[in-house]
A and B are shown apart, each in its own frame.
Chain A
Amino acid sequence: MIGEDLVRELEGIVGPENVSTDLVERLCYARDASENRALPGVVVWPQTTEQVSAILKLANEHKVPVTPRGAGTCLSGGPVPIRGGILMVMTKMNHILDINIEDMLALVEPGVVWQQLNNALEPYGLFLPPDPASGSVCTIGGCVAENAGGVRAVKYGTFRDWVQWLEVVLPTGEVMETGARTRKWVSGYDLVRLFVGSEGTLGVITKIMLRLFPRPRHRAVMSAFAPGLREAGKAIFYVMSRGLTPSAAEIMDKYTLEAVSKYAGMEFPDCEAMLIFEFDGFTTSDVRARLREAKKLCEASNLKVKVAETEAEANDIWRARKSASPALARLRPSSMHEDATVPTSKVAEMLVRVREISKRWGVLIATFGHAGDGNLHPVILFDERDPDEHDRAMRAAEDIFKAAIELGGTLTGEHGIGLSKARFFSLEHGSVEIKVLRAIKKALDPNEILNPGKIWGD
């Protein structure tokens, strides 16, 4: 499908050392962290906006699909080149171009790794709040394209809330700048928000200006153990609705705790779920006061609260949460991480439904996640080499999506639709909305060459 001529032309644009048609490379770039797999015809590593633009122009001429990729940590198949063609790896565009302390802005190339940026910000006492768990490796470009979130999203929001301005190469190869350096702006349509979360389907992001925030100096952490899922849900709802703005409001259900206790040798009181609240801020008194208030609310819902009195105790609480993934991964051969999200008031109901779904399909589902913003991570544990169990796991996933939508939620809070959830897209979105989405896509990408087959499928 990829002709010799096209490969030569790509080599002319980025240099032969930045083009590979080797099967070994193509196999490794055929996958992300989801179940999807599709081989690209050729892998290219551009280093400048001009090169990205030239590649897209060429792809339009040849009508060859192009799929952008950052670190490939996507959990929904976004960077998997389902129609083959050119896989464009952005990791060589990895420079931090500017850190502006006065305006608290950073200008970066898309291949900069989240951790690399936060390390560079640390000496200035600044940080970029949205904190995907994959931050040690995922790229800022990938985070923008997926509208990534994380534990702190409950207070600070997702990437959507921190992108000020973008340089984007449109699918036709034209280069566009959009957004503003100022906190407020109403100058035209908000195209920045259109591109944030566009999953690499509308343009290739080549420069990103991010808003920064002063790094909070203090934090207070507590854990709370709920006798039932409904009590857990109530406690979360109360803490969130009193304006206590926790910087983390996490949950781990009984199954997750059992796994963590086996894996990390930790002990937990008998309970149906453990909650973790963290409060950050600039004075101890403020942070402590909010924590005390949250403690009262949890106790009123019959939860047993344990406040971390020392930094070591706080780290221990977080160690439990951070062990959730590895602990669950060792329970069964395969795992599927969903991120169905419901309104905060429906968290308890969703947890109960996930339990029912687990029973219905006879697969183990452990749930943890960002309870404060309703972004749960039910982890389906199974053996993908057992076709029957694999099938039941897929059906359970489908029921989880349906439950989230029924409760007024969304298919995905932070991992994106990609390929994995494209089948379910119309559960959440009406035909008029899908028509508008397609029209936008067509307007920007007349030949539908950029990351085709994603979000709404075909």
Chain B
Amino acid sequence: MASGLSLPENALREIFRCFRCGYCRSACPTFAIKGSESWNARGRLILARELIEGHVEPDKTILDRIFSCNSCGACEVVCPAVVRVVDALTALKSALVASGVKPPEPIVKIHEAILRHGNPFGRGQYQEGPKEGKGEVLLFPGCVALELEPGLIRAIEAILEAAEVPYSILEGPCCGSPLHNMGFKGDAERLAERLASKIRSSSAEHVITPCPMCLLALRPYLGQRVEHTTTFMRKLMDEGRLVLKRKVGLKATYHDPCVLGRQLGIYEAPRELIWQSGLELLEMPRSRANSACCGYGYLNFMAYPELAREMAKRRILEALEVGVDVLITACPSCLHALSEAAREVARALAVSDVSEVIAELAT
């Protein structure tokens, strides 16, 4: 390893397991946009190998290819060798950072902001203790919802109030998941640990978050005590605590967020909520495990804005093809991505988080 990269054996095994069949060409969203092999899982794993074997130095171009992988995991679903591409490339990013390589500039900035402010947007500290006393539920909205989609938080609050669930809100610190994806493994783990210990000190029975990435980061520390807002709402409905007062009669489609679906396996809860709302659910050609990334996950829209916006636009066009009035999702990053893109290419298409739909009907 001429470049001094040191990867754990299990990551090496995944990188070398890729036999370059190219099946991931049909799935990788960055490849769909850029069209050349280096933007694909296959290309990235070839480059990983070349880096590990010391045939090439980690220059700017190569780092762009590696760090622009947004860990959407679409490639893994079609991979006949079942290569764990996301784990492999995340380990590669970590090894690069650990060897002293500086990631692309926007990523360095995000890293600094999170370390300094506890959030990526650099807008001062979020409140790091639960707001408003005790409760059955501790709501952790996550940085993206707090900064960019506050309406989503209001909707979740409205639902909890309608169901008469006492709750409190915990704003920060950041769960660390973007940093994990960007190769700052140690910092990410420290942040997740810090957040988890703050949560542990609360007496809330359930911890809920609308953000699949926060959920993924917290699961190892809190297990099933932390859950996604959609599965929690589903339970409230089953228990008869959350009752919908009205129904809507529009056509909707549902965009599976990559992390919620492929990583956490939550496909049904959001759909069941949509059915309950009376909306007619029509599926896009790429749904569930084959869902297409919106581009914004793990703050990718700050690191690679052009790629991210183009991915979001393409997803909107796919939703339009299905012929629906509403595009529903269940993740603050997806919500932000798809709302922005719809404003640009399809003003008539409404974009909502499933919590927003339920809040409308429950209050």
Q: Given A136-B26, A326-B81 in contact, is the A29-B37 Cβ separation under 8 Å?
A: yes
Instruction: Output the least CB separation between B33 and chain A (Å).
Output: 14
Of A20-28, A182-190, A447-455, the one contacting chain B is: A20-28
Q: Which of B13, B22, B50, B59 has the most CB of A within 10 A?
A: B22
A-chain residues with CB within 8 Å of residue B62 when the two chains form the complex = 24
Contact A335 to B19, CB < 8 A, known contacts A25-B36, A28-B37, A91-B35: yes
Checking A28, A32, A113, A136 against B36 with a beta-carbon cut-off of 8 angstroms, the contacting residue is A28
Whether, in the assembled complex, B16 has its beta carbon less than 8 Å from a beta carbon of chain A, the answer is: yes
Residues facing B in A24-76 (CB within 8 A) are 24-25, 27-33, 43, 45, 71-73
- Contacting A at CB under 8 A, from B73-97, are 78-82
Q: Are B82 and A334 in contact (CB under 8 A)?
A: no
Query: 8 closest A-B pairs (Cβ-Cβ)?
Result: A329-B81, A28-B43, A28-B37, A28-B38, A137-B25, A325-B80, A136-B26, A73-B22
Q: How far is the CB of A310 from chain B (nearest CB, A)?
A: 23
Interface residue ranges, A against B (CB under 8 Å): 20, 22-25, 27-33, 43, 45, 71-73, 89, 91-92, 113, 115, 134, 136-138, 325-326, 329-330, 333-335, 384-385
**Which chain B positions have C-beta within 8 A of A330?**
17, 81-82
Say if the beta carbon of B350 comes within 8 Å of chain A.
no
**Minimum CB–CB distance for A368 against chain B, Å:** 13
A43 to B61, CA, bound (A): 16
A43 to B38 Cα, complex, angstroms = 12
Verify A134–B37 contact, CB threshold 8 A: no
Bound CA–CA A329/B16 (angstroms) = 11
Q: Is the CB of B55 within 8 A of A27?
A: yes
Pick from A73, A138, A329 the residue with the most CB of B within 10 Å: A329
Given A24-B65, A33-B22, A72-B20, 7 extra CB contacts under 8 A: A27-B56, A31-B20, A32-B22, A71-B22, A326-B80, A330-B82, A333-B17
CB-defined A-B contacts under 8 Å, sample of 24 = A20-B36, A24-B56, A24-B62, A24-B65, A27-B47, A27-B55, A28-B36, A28-B37, A28-B38, A29-B37, A33-B19, A33-B21, A73-B21, A73-B23, A113-B26, A115-B26, A134-B23, A136-B23, A137-B22, A137-B23, A330-B17, A333-B16, A333-B17, A385-B16
Residues of B within 8 A of A28 (CB): 36-38, 40, 42-43, 46-47
A334 near B23 with CB under 8 A, answer no
Distance from B87 Cβ to chain A, minimum over Cβ atoms (Å): 14
A48 CB to nearest chain B CB (Å) = 17
A25-B37 in contact given A136-B78, A329-B19 (Cβ < 8 Å): yes
8 Å CB contacts to A: which residues of B15-70? 16-17, 19-23, 25-26, 35-38, 40, 42-43, 46-47, 50, 55-56, 59, 61-62, 65
By the criterion CB–CB under 8 Å, are A329 and B47 in contact? no
* Interface of A, helix, strand, loop or mixed by DSSP: loop
Chain B interface SS verdict (over half): helix
Q: How far is the CA of A330 from the CA of B23 in the complex (A)?
A: 17
Are B16 and A334 neighbours in the complex by a CB distance under 8 Å?
A: yes
In whole angstroms, how far apart are the Cα atoms of A32 and B47 in the complex?
Answer: 14
B19 touches A71 (CB 8 A): no
Give the shortest distance, in Å, between A166 (CB) and chain B (any CB): 24
- Bound together, the chains give a CA A215 to CA B55 distance in angstroms of 49
* Closest partner residue, chain A, to B83 (CB atom): A329
Q: Chain B residues near A326: list those with CB within 8 A.
A: 79-82
Cα distance, A27 to B17, chains bound together (Å): 18
Contact string, B138-150, partner A, CB cutoff 8 A, digits 1/0?
0000000000000
Bound CA span A24–B57, Å = 10
Residues of chain B contacted by A27 (CB below 8 angstroms): 38, 46-47, 50, 55-56
A138–B23 Cα distance when bound, in Å, is: 8
- Tell me the smallest distance from the CB of B68 to a CB of chain A, in Å: 12
Q: Please, which residues of chain B bring their CB within 8 A of the CB of A30?
A: 46
Are the C-beta atoms of B43 and A333 separated by less than 8 Å? Answer: no
Give complex CA distance A100, B56 in Å.
49
Q: Known contacts A136-B23, A329-B81, A330-B82; is A25 also within 8 Å of B38 by CB?
A: yes
CB pair B81–A24 under 8 Å, yes or no, is no
Is B82 within 8 A of A329, CB to CB? yes
Indicate the member of B13, B38, B56, B78 with the most A CB atoms within 10 Å: B38
> Is the Cβ of A22 less than 8 Å from the Cβ of B82?
no
| B residues lining the A interface (CB < 8 Å) | 13, 16-17, 19-23, 25-26, 35-38, 40, 42-43, 46-47, 50, 55-56, 59, 61-62, 65, 78-82
Expressed in whole angstroms, the minimum distance between the Cβ of B231 and any Cβ of chain A is 25
A385 to B53, CA, bound (A): 12
Instruction: Write the chain B residue with the least CB distance to A24.
Output: B61
Bound CA–CA A27/B52 (angstroms): 14
B23 engages A24 (CB within 8 Å): no
A177 CB to closest chain B CB (Å) equals: 28
The residue in chain B whose Cβ has the minimal distance to the Cβ of A92 is B35
On whether the beta carbons of A31 and B46 are closer than 8 Å, the reply is: yes
CB <8 Å contact, B20 and A33: yes
Task: Find the A residue at minimum CB distance from B39.
Answer: A28
Chain B's nearest CB lies how many Å from the CB of A183? Answer: 33
Task: Tell me the complex Cα distance, A275–B59, Å.
Answer: 51
Most chain-A CB neighbours within 10 Å: which of B21, B40, B78, B81? Answer: B21
Residues of chain A within 8 A (CB-CB) of B47 are: 24, 27-28
Q: Which chain A positions have C-beta within 8 A of B82?
A: 326, 329-330
Q: Which residue of A lies closest to B57 (CB)?
A: A23
**Max chain B Cβ within 10 angstroms of own Cβ: one of A22, A24, A71, A325:** A24
Alpha-carbon gap, A29 to B36, bound state (A): 9
Residues of A within 8 A of B17 (CB): 329-330, 333-334
Q: What's the least CB distance linking B325 to chain A, in Å?
A: 26
A451 to B16, CA, bound (A): 28
Task: Give the residues in chain A near B22, CB-CB below 8 Å.
Answer: 32-33, 71-73, 134, 137-138
Contacts of B79 in A (CB 8 A): 326
**Closest chain A residue to B21 by CB distance?**
A33
> How far, in whole Å, are A22 and B35 apart by their CA atoms in the complex?
15
Closest residue on chain A to residue B46 by CB atoms? A28
With A27-B55, A29-B37, A137-B26 as known contacts, state yes or no: A22 contacts B61, CB within 8 Å.
yes
Chain B: minimal CB distance from A136 (Å): 5
Alpha-carbon distance between A167 and B119 when the two chains are bound, in angstroms? 58
**What separation, in Å, do the CA atoms of A373 and B295 have in the docked complex?**
45
A136 to B26 alpha-carbon distance, docked (Å): 6
B148 shortest CB reach to chain A, Å? 33
B104 to chain A, nearest CB (A): 14
**For A92, what are the chain B residues with a Cβ–Cβ distance below 8 Å?**
35
Chain B min CB distance to A265 (Å): 14
Complex: how many Å from CA A418 to CA B137?
63
Contacts of B26 in A (CB 8 A): 113, 115, 136-137
Bound-state Cα–Cα, A194 to B62, Å: 41
Q: Which residue of B lies closest to A74 (CB)?
A: B22
Complex alpha-carbon distance, A334 and B36, angstroms: 25
Tell me which residues across on chain A come within 8 A of B81, comparing CB atoms: 325-326, 329-330, 335
Nearest A residue (CB) for B55: A27
B36: chain A residues at CB < 8 Å are 20, 25, 28, 43, 45, 89
A379 to B19, CA, bound (A): 13
Bound together, the chains give a CA A25 to CA B40 distance in angstroms of: 11
Task: Give the docked Cα–Cα distance between A73 and B56 (Å).
Answer: 24
Compute how far the CA of A118 lies from the CA of B92 in the bound complex, rounded to whole angstroms. 38
What residue of chain B has the Cβ atom nearest to residue A324's Cβ? B80
Contact residues in B for A115 (Cβ distance below 8 Å): 26
Chain B residues with Cβ under 8 A from A24's Cβ? Answer: 38, 47, 56, 59, 61-62, 65
